[in-house]
Structure 1
Amino acid sequence: MNRLTYILYFICISLSLSGCKKSLDLKNAGAFDPASVWNDPQLANAYLTNLYATTLPTGWPVNSGGNADELSGNLPEDAVTTNNTLFKSWPYDLIRNINILLTEIEKGSLPAGTKEKMKGQAYFLRAWVYFNVVKLYGGVPILEQPLGVKDDLSAGRNSTKACFDFIEADLNKAINALPDQYIGGDRGRIDKAASLAFLGRVMLYKASPQFHPSNPYNNTDWPKAYEVNKMAKEQLAGMGFGLNPDYVGIWAKNNKGNKEAVMSVLFMAPNRMNGRSENQCRPLSESIDASGGDQPVWEMVAAYPMKDGLQPGISLKYPYELQTFWKDRDPRFYASVVYNGSLYELSRIAGRRQYTANGVASIDDVFGGGEQGDFHRTGFFPRKGMDPTLLKSEVTKNETDWIEIRYAEVLLNFAEAANETGKSNEALEVLIQIRKRAGIEAGADQLYGLSGSTGTAQIRNAIYFERRIEFIYEGQRFNELRRTRRLNEIDGMRKNGLLATLKSDKVAEDGKTFKLLPEDFTYKIQPLFSNGTNLMSTPERYYFFPIPRVEIEKNPKLLQNKGWDGGTFDPTLE
C-alpha cells in the first residue's frame, strides 16, 4: 500500500462510522495484500467503513416525491430513455468491492468473531445493492466473486427469481452473523434488527403487484412475505423497538436512536451534518444557497384526513371548507406541512409566521416564485425533520439522522402481508396503532376513522393511504406506486399549489411583524407554474426501467427489458 492510501484509511478510522468524509479509492483494492489489510482490525474496519459510505443512503432523499403526487417536480413525457441517466444504476464497482471483503477476509488472521460480524455487514450491503437494482430492472447478473479491475462484466442476466433468492440468502447470512443491535459508539452499523426489517421489505416487494401483474394479490409469495414480516415485527419488538410515543419526536435532536429508528444514517457535529439539507428545504428567506426542496403540492395537502380520521368532506364532526383547509386535520399534517400564516419559528425568531402571499411574504417565498420566475413554490414548505433553532447562517448544520427503516414501516409491511393472506384483523390492528400514535381521535367505535375498512380490498386501500401520509418526505411514494402498480393514478396528472391572497379588509404587512393569521387570506387552488409541461407521464413500462444502453453496448449478453428498444427480457416473476 502507498502512503496516501494509509493516510486515507486512518482518516476514516479517526472518524465515526457515519462521519467518515473521505472515501478510500478502491480501484486497486484487488491488488491489496491480505497481510496488510485483513490481518489488521483497523485497516479491515476502514475498508468496511468505506463500503458503508459508498453503498448506503447519504441522507434524506430530498425531492424524490416530485416523481409522484407528493412534492413539486415533474416527470414529463419520455423523461426516461435507454440512453439517459434517469432511474439508472449499474453498481458493479460497489459489488466488486463488497465481494473483495467477502473473499479476501478469510485469508487474514482476524479473530473468527470479528470476521463473522464484518462478513455479516458485507452480506447486508450486497443484498442492499442488488435489491435496489432489481427494483429498477428485475433480474441482473449475479456475481459472487470480484472481477479484476480490467475485466469486463460479460455475464448475462439472471432471472428475477434467482436475484430475489440471492438477496434473501445474503440477508439470512447477515441475520445469523450479526448481534441484535449495535448501540453506543457502534450505533449506525448494520445489525440483526436492520437485516430482519430489510428482509421484510424485500419479501413485500417480491410478493407485490409490480412483480406479479397478472396475479397481484393471491400469488404464492404472499405467505412468505407474511412469515418474514411477522418474524421481523415480533423479534424487533422483543429487542425493544416500537413506535415512538409521538410522531414529531421521531426526528427530535434529543431523541436520536429512539426505539422507532431501526436503521439510521447518523449525522453529528462536526464531522457530518446537513442530513436534512435545510439549505435546500427551508424557505429561501431563511436559507442560503438553495431552496425549493420537499415542497408538498396541493394534492398531498388535501389528502390528509381530519382529526377523526375521516376524509375532508366526509367527516360530520369536522366540516371541511377550502378557506379553512388547515383546521382540524390529522396531527401529522401540522408536524409535516408549513402553510401560509402558520407559526414557523425559524432562526429562533419568536412568533415568526411563514407567509406565501404576494405583497406579504418575502419575494423569495411567494407561491410560484413571484417576480423571480422560480416555479417551484407551491404555497407550502416542509416541517418534518427540520431544525428551526438553526440560524440562517447555520442551515448546513442540521444533525437530524436519516432513518432509512422505521418500526412504523415494519408494522405496515406486516399489515399488508397479513391482509393479503386472509388476516385482515391483524392488519386493522396495525392501522389502529399507527393512527393512535398519530393523535387521531378514536371515535365511539375505537376504530380511529377506519370503520369503513372491513374487507380485504378496503384494508388494502387503507394501508396504501396510511403509507402516503405517514412517510411524507421519506422517499417512498414513487416506488410505492410502482410496487403496487398504481402509476395510473398519476399518469396525466397536473399538479397544483395554493395561492394565498390577503383579504381586502386587512392591512398588508412587511411579513416581519407576524400578526396576520391564516384566516386573514383567501385561497385558490392553482396549477403550478412550469418552464415546460405540468403534465405527469408515467406509462405502464415504468414499472421496470431500461438497462442503460451503454452497458448493453459493452456487454451483448445483456438482454433489454420488454418495452424498451425491442427488449425481450421479462423482469416479472411470472
Structure 2
Amino acid sequence: MKRNIYKFLMSGVFLLLFMGISTSCDPLGIEPTTQVDEGRFWLNPQLARSYVNNFYFWTPAGAGDTFQSEQWSDNCQGNAEQDWNTYRQESFNKRQYDENNGIIGFSAPWSDSYKKVYNVNLGIEKINSSSALSENLKNQLLAESYFFRAFVYFDMIKYWGAVPYVSKALTIDDNTYLPQNKREEIFDNILSDLTESVKFFDAYGGTPDVGMVNRNVATAYISRVALYAANAADASAKNLYTDDPAGLFKFEKNAQHYYQISYN
C-alpha cells in the first residue's frame, strides 16, 4: 500500500511561501506588523519558541472527551449500545471507516498526522540551522520536537501498524508516494526519537516550565512505547499476523529486547 501525502504537505509549503512573498514584495516598502517572512522567522527566539509551543495543542486521536475515540485508548470503551458487549466500537473493530475522511462524529487522523510530521520535521531542520538561537534554547526546542515526532508516530502506529515514515520536511521536488515501513522500524524510530529527546534535555540542563515536556516525560514515554513494541514482537513470534504477505508486521528482535528497554 502506498499513500500520497503530497496534498497534506502543500498547505504548509504554501503558507511559508505566502509569508515570504507578502513581505519581500511589498511595493510600498513598509514592514507589515502582522506577518514575518520565513527567513527572519527563525532568527527570532520568541517566534521559534512559539512555533514549538503549537505542538502542545496536539492530542492523540486515540482518546477524546466524548468517547468518540476511546476504543483506541487504554480504556477500550465503545460509545454505542451495540458495542457494549465487545467494548469496541463496531465500525472501528470491523475497519468500516475511511482513514482519510473518517465517519460521523470522528475525524480520521491520516491527513492531520502527516501535517504534524511535516511541521515537526521543518522545525527540527530550521532550529538546527538557525544561527540566532542560543545553544541552550536550541537544545530545549529540539528535545521537545523529537518528542512530538515520536508522539505523532506512536498514535499512528496504533491505528495502522505500518505507515510511511518521513524524517525530513518533504518539498514539491520529493517523491511523496512512499511505501509503508515495517512496524518494527517505526517502533525503533520512535524509540530513537525519544532517546534523542532525552539527550537534548540533558544538554539543555534547565528546568522546563510546569506543563511542558521534560526529560522525565520523554523517559516515561520510552518505557510505554517499548511495552507496546514488546507486545507486537511477541505476536510476531507467535505468527499471529497471518494476513501479512509483505512481512510488514514481522519482527527480527524478540519481545525481551523491548521489555529490557522499558525496564531500563
Q: Please report the TM-score for the alignment, with normalisation by the length of structure 1.
A: 0.32
1:48 and 2:81 matched: no
Deviations 1:415-454 (A, max 9, x none): xxxxxxxxxxxxxxxxxxxxxxxxxxxxxxxxxxxxxxxx
Among 220, 224, 232, which residue is 1:201 paired with? 224
Superposition deviation, residue 166 in structure 1: 1.1
Amino acid at match of 2:16: A
Amino acid at match of 2:177: S
1:101 corresponds in structure 2 to 123
Q: Which SS does the other structure have where 1:142 is aligned?
A: coil
Give the alignment of 1:254-269 within 5 angstroms.
none
Q: Which SS does the other structure have where 2:90 is aligned?
A: coil
2:90 corresponds in structure 1 to 76
Aligned CA distance change for structure 1 residues 71 and 157 (closer, same or farther; 3 Å): closer
* Higher helix proportion (structure 1 or 2): 2
Among 117, 122, 131, which residue is 2:140 paired with? 117
Superposition deviation, residue 103 in structure 1: 0.7
Q: Please report the TM-score for the alignment, with normalisation by the length of structure 2.
A: 0.64
Q: Which has the larger radius of gyration?
A: 1
1:135 corresponds in structure 2 to 158
Give the alignment of 1:48-447 within 5 angstroms.
48-54=52-58, 61-63=65-67, 64-65=69-70, 70=77, 72-73=79-80, 74=83, 75-76=89-90, 78=94, 80-82=96-98, 85=102, 88-90=108-110, 91-108=113-130, 109-148=132-171, 153-178=176-201, 182=207, 186-209=209-232, 212-215=235-238, 220-231=253-264
Aligned CA distance change for structure 1 residues 214 and 80 (closer, same or farther; 3 Å): farther
1:29 corresponds in structure 2 to 16
Superposition deviation, residue 132 in structure 1: 1.1
Superposition deviation, residue 154 in structure 1: 1.3
CA distance in 2, matches of 1:141, 1:110: 32
Q: Is the 8 A contact 1:209 1:215 kept in 2?
A: no
CA distance in 2, matches of 1:224, 1:158: 20
Aligned CA distance change for structure 1 residues 223 and 182 (closer, same or farther; 3 Å): farther
CA distance in 2, matches of 1:163, 1:85: 24
Aligned CA distance change for structure 1 residues 110 and 34 (closer, same or farther; 3 Å): farther
Aligned CA distance change for structure 1 residues 190 and 58 (closer, same or farther; 3 Å): farther
Aligned CA distance change for structure 1 residues 169 and 54 (closer, same or farther; 3 Å): same
CA distance in 1, matches of 2:90, 2:142: 43
Amino acid at match of 2:116: L
1:289 corresponds in structure 2 to none
2:6 corresponds in structure 1 to none
Q: Is the 8 A contact 1:171 1:199 kept in 2?
A: yes
Aligned CA distance change for structure 1 residues 48 and 149 (closer, same or farther; 3 Å): farther
Superposition deviation, residue 82 in structure 1: 4.6
CA distance in 2, matches of 1:112, 1:100: 18
CA distance in 1, matches of 2:71, 2:61: 18
Aligned CA distance change for structure 1 residues 45 and 69 (closer, same or farther; 3 Å): closer
Aligned CA distance change for structure 1 residues 93 and 101 (closer, same or farther; 3 Å): same
Q: Is the 8 A contact 2:194 2:218 kept in 1?
A: yes
Aligned CA distance change for structure 1 residues 39 and 206 (closer, same or farther; 3 Å): same
State the percentage of identical aligned residues: 24
Superposition deviation, residue 76 in structure 1: 3.3
CA distance in 1, matches of 2:173, 2:15: 10
CA distance in 2, matches of 1:140, 1:71: 25
Please report the RMSD computed on the Cα atoms of aligned residues, expressed in angstroms: 3.5
Aligned CA distance change for structure 1 residues 138 and 211 (closer, same or farther; 3 Å): farther
Q: Which runs of 5+ in 1 are unaligned?
A: 1-24, 232-574
2:34 corresponds in structure 1 to none
Among 23, 33, 38, which residue is 2:42 paired with? 38
Q: Which SS does the other structure have where 1:208 is aligned?
A: helix
Superposition deviation, residue 52 in structure 1: 2.1
Superposition deviation, residue 222 in structure 1: 3.0
CA distance in 1, matches of 2:173, 2:136: 34
Q: Is the 8 A contact 1:29 1:100 kept in 2?
A: no
Superposition deviation, residue 137 in structure 1: 1.1
In the alignment of these two chains, the number of paired residues is: 204
Aligned CA distance change for structure 1 residues 172 and 29 (closer, same or farther; 3 Å): farther
CA distance in 1, matches of 2:70, 2:128: 43
